[in-house]
Structure 1
Amino acid sequence: MSRLVTRAPAKVNLTLHVLGRREGDGYHELESLVAFTGAGDTLSLDPGPELALTVSGPTAGPAGPLDDNLVIRAARHLAEAVPGLRWGAFYLVKRLPVAAGIGGGSSDAAAALRLLAGLNDLALTDPAVRLAAGRTGADVPVCLEPTARMMRGAGETVSDALRLAPLPAVLINPGVPVATAPVFRALGLTVGARNEGAPHPVLVADAGVDATLAVLAPARNDLEAPALTVAPVIGDALRALRDEPGCRLARMSGSGATVFGVFADRRAAVRAAARIRSRQPEWWIISALLR
Structure 2
Amino acid sequence: MTGEAAAETGWAKINLALHVRRRRADGYHDIETIFAFADFGDGLSVRAADDVTLTIRGPFGEGLPADESNLVMRAARALAGAHGVRVGAALTLDKRLPVASGIGGGSADAAAALRLLNRYWEIDADDVALCAIAATLGADVPACVDSHTQRGDGVGEELRTLEGDDVRGKAVLLVNPGAPLATGPVFAAWDGIDRGALAFGPPLAAALAGRNDLQTSAVSLCPAIGTVLNVLAAQPGALLVRMSGSGATCFALFDTDADAEAAQSAIAAAHPGWWAAAGRLR
TM-score by length of structure 2 reads 0.92
Cα distance in 2 for partners of 1:107, 1:6 equals 10
Deviation at 1:188, TM superposition (A): 4.8
Deviation at 1:131, TM superposition (A): 2.9
1:40-82: CA deviation from partner (whole Å, max 9, x where unpaired)? 1110111333010011111111433533211001112223322
Whether the 8 Å CA contact 2:44–2:93 is kept in 1: the answer is yes
Deviation at 1:289, TM superposition (A): 1.2
Q: How many residues align?
A: 277
What percentage of residue pairs aligned between the two structures are identical? 40
Task: Read off the aligned partner of 2:23 and give its amino acid letter.
Answer: R
Task: Read off the aligned partner of 2:182 and give its amino acid letter.
Answer: A
Match of 1:182 in 2: 185
Whether the 8 Å CA contact 1:97–1:104 is kept in 2: the answer is yes
Match of 2:69 in 1: 68
When the two chains are superposed, the root-mean-square deviation of aligned CA atoms in Å is 1.8
Counterpart among 201, 204, 227 of residue 203 in structure 1: 201
Cα distance in 2 for partners of 1:58, 1:254 equals 22
Match of 2:34 in 1: 33
Cα distance in 2 for partners of 1:157, 1:122 equals 23
Whether the 8 Å CA contact 2:10–2:44 is kept in 1: the answer is yes
From the superposition, tell whether residues 161 and 216 of structure 1 become closer, same or farther in structure 2 (CA, over 3 Å). closer
Whether the 8 Å CA contact 2:46–2:91 is kept in 1: the answer is yes
1:233-278: CA deviation from partner (whole Å, max 9, x where unpaired)? 1001001101112222210000000000122422111111100110
From the superposition, tell whether residues 164 and 248 of structure 1 become closer, same or farther in structure 2 (CA, over 3 Å). closer
Task: Read off the aligned partner of 1:183 and give its amino acid letter.
Answer: V
2:209 aligned counterpart, secondary structure: coil
108-117 vs 67-76, which deviates more?
Answer: 67-76
Match of 2:54 in 1: 53
Task: Read off the aligned partner of 1:218 and give its amino acid letter.
Answer: A
Task: Read off the aligned partner of 1:168 and give its amino acid letter.
Answer: A
1:1-291 to structure 2, matched below 5 A, reads: 1-23=3-25, 25-84=26-85, 86-118=87-119, 119-127=121-129, 129-160=130-161, 163-165=165-167, 166-189=169-192, 195-204=193-202, 213-291=204-282
Deviation at 1:168, TM superposition (A): 1.5
Whether the 8 Å CA contact 1:124–1:144 is kept in 2: the answer is no
Cα distance in 1 for partners of 2:13, 2:104 equals 5
Structure 2 regions of 5+ residues with no counterpart? none
Cα distance in 2 for partners of 1:252, 1:35 equals 13
